[in-house]
Structure formats: C-alpha cells, structure tokens
Amino acid sequence: EPEVTQTPSHQVTQMGQEVILRCVPISNHLYFYWYRQILGQKVEFLVSFYNNEISEKSEIFDDQFSVERPDGSNFTLKIRSTKLEDSAMYFCASTPRGGGANVLTFGAGSRLTVL
Amino acid sequence: DQQVKQNSPSLSVQEGRISILNCDYTNSMFDYFLWYKKYPAEGPTFLISISSIKDKNEDGRFTVFLNKSAKHLSLHIVPSQPGDSAVYFCAASGWVQGAQKLVFGQGTRLTINP
C-alpha cells in the first residue's frame, strides 16, 4: 500500500538553529500538507501546497516557516530559527485531489525537540 | 477557537463491549466528518467518514452517527477489541471563511481492557 514517508523520525536541535523536515508524498498525489501536534494537544494545520505554491496557511505558519518541493518528489518544511515552542510532532500528508471529501494520508511523523 | 471538540481525553472499555467516542463541532459550514486513529509513533490513519447528507455510516465494527441539529457526531465500535486501543481524532471539513479547511479535535485515548 502506498505510504507517505518522513525523515528524520526524531531530531533534536538547539534553539535558534534551522531545521528541515522531509517528506515523500504518495507519487500520484497532488496536494500536500503539514500538520503538527504539540504533546498532549490536538493536531493543528500548518500549510497546504498545490501546484508548487502554498494554497493555504494557518496563523502558526509565520515567517520562520517555509515549504518547498525541490525536486518533484520531496516536500520539505523548513523552520529557520527554532524556538522552544516549536517542539512537536510534525506530520506530512497528501491527497490525490483537493476538496473536503478527500482523505488525507499521513506519514508517521517527525518528532522535533528544541532545547 | 476550538471548532471541533472531543471533551473526553480518555475512555476505558472492557473488551467485547461497545466503545462510544463523541465529538462536537461549532461551525455549520462543515459538511464532511472523519475519524482518524493514531497509534504511538505512527501518523493518524483514516478510519471512517460521513457526509453531512447522511446520519449514519457503517463499516464493519465501526459506525459513525451524525446529528446535524446538535452538531454532534459519535463513533461506535462494537465489539471492542484490544487492538482498538489508540487515540481517536475527530475531524471536520468544509468551506470556512473562503477556504477549504480540515479541523481536528484534541483526540480521545481509548483503552480496551481484556
């Protein structure tokens, strides 16, 4: 069964450092997403991406965050200068089409710990 | 602004009994509802969904009920099995403020006791 893969599974970084989280969405999917879950809290939307541009972003997704699809397969989330409160599980997801009735397929997540 | 709420952070059920997980939403623009299941160290996986034009959808041991007037949905698992122990997230989808949104609840940790 096709799956979304994410690397690294766990990254520990110092506050202020740049972090890049990588995702390989399902190959025929066109819409890509990043969500995060702070420990014990709900899964929160960060950003959606379609046709090589951001289609929507939440207020969490400030100037410290960026996404790109550098090579047609990887979908990356960059945090320029990490803060303690960026510690969370970051989930990548993809769907073949847009629209609310489409089910997101999530990756296993990347745990980011900012010290 | 919690548009999707799961008021029970945890639920414990005896194996073989029915598990009922509840979810409330506030925005009447939501028109599609999903339940995701999450095991530790894994991403959420889709379990079952329901469109707002229905009030019930059944898939094997899993049934989702939607009460639009009460803005409430529930997931029934019967009979509950130990492998059902996981965190269950309710999610609601719809056009909100000009954009298609998928909003998750906080999750309910279900524990099935043998």
Q: What is the CATH number of the domain that holds A56?
A: 2.60.40.10
Q: What is the pLDDT of residues A88-114, one digit of tens each?
A: 999 999 988 776 667 889 999 999 999
Identify the burial level of A24 via C-beta atoms within 10 angstroms of its C-beta, where 0-12 means exposed, 13-18 middle and 19 or more buried: middle
Domain range for A75: 5-96+110-114
What is B17-74 written as a DSSP string? Answer: S-EEEEEEE--TTEEEEEEEEE-TTS--EEEEEEETT-SEEEETTEEEEEETTTTEEE
When the pLDDT of each residue in chain B is averaged and rounded to a whole number, the result is 92
Residue of A nearest to B31 (CA): A100
Burial B34-52 (b: 16+ CB within 10 A, else e): bbbbbeeeebbeebbbbeb
The verdict on residue A104 lying in a domain is no
Collect all residues with Cβ–Cβ distance below 8 Å to B31 and sequence separation of at least 6: A100, B51, B52, B93, B94, B95
C-alpha span between A62 and B15 (Å, rounded): 45
Are B22 and B5 contacting, i.e. CB atoms less than 8 angstroms apart?
no
Tell me the average pLDDT across A49-69: 91
Helix then strand count (H, E) for chain A reads: 0, 11
Q: How many whole angstroms from its chain centre is CA B103?
A: 12
The verdict on residue A83 lying in a domain is yes
Beta carbons of A100 and B31 less than 8 Å apart: yes
Q: What is the pLDDT of residues B32-64, one digit of tens each?
A: 999 999 998 889 999 999 999 999 999 999 999
- A43 vs B32, B44, B100: nearest CB: B44
Residues of A with CB below 8 A from B42's CB?
A: 108-109
The verdict on residue A79 lying in a domain is yes
The verdict on residue A102 lying in a domain is no
Q: Is the torsion defined by CA of B50, B55, B100, B102 positive or negative?
A: negative
- Give the pLDDT of residue B41: 81
Domain holding B41: CATH number?
Answer: 2.60.40.10
Beta carbons of B95 and A99 less than 8 Å apart: no
As for how many domains chain A has, the answer is 1
The verdict on residue A15 lying in a domain is yes
Q: Write out the two tokens for A28.
A: 């025929």
Percent of chain B with pLDDT over 70: 96
The verdict on residue A49 lying in a domain is yes
Residues of A with CB below 8 A from B44's CB?
A: 43, 91, 106
Domain range for B97: 4-113
Beta carbons of B44 and A44 less than 8 Å apart: no
Beta carbons of B51 and A91 less than 8 Å apart: no
- Give the pLDDT of residue A100: 65
As for how many domains chain B has, the answer is 1
The verdict on residue A42 lying in a domain is yes
- Cα dihedral A98, A100, A106, A111 in deg (nearest 10): 100
Res B100 pLDDT > 80: no
The verdict on residue A69 lying in a domain is yes
CA distance to A76, A81, A112, per residue, from A39 (Å): 22, 20, 11
Beta carbons of B100 and A105 less than 8 Å apart: no
**Closest to A46 measured CA to CA, from A28, A27, A26, A23:** A23
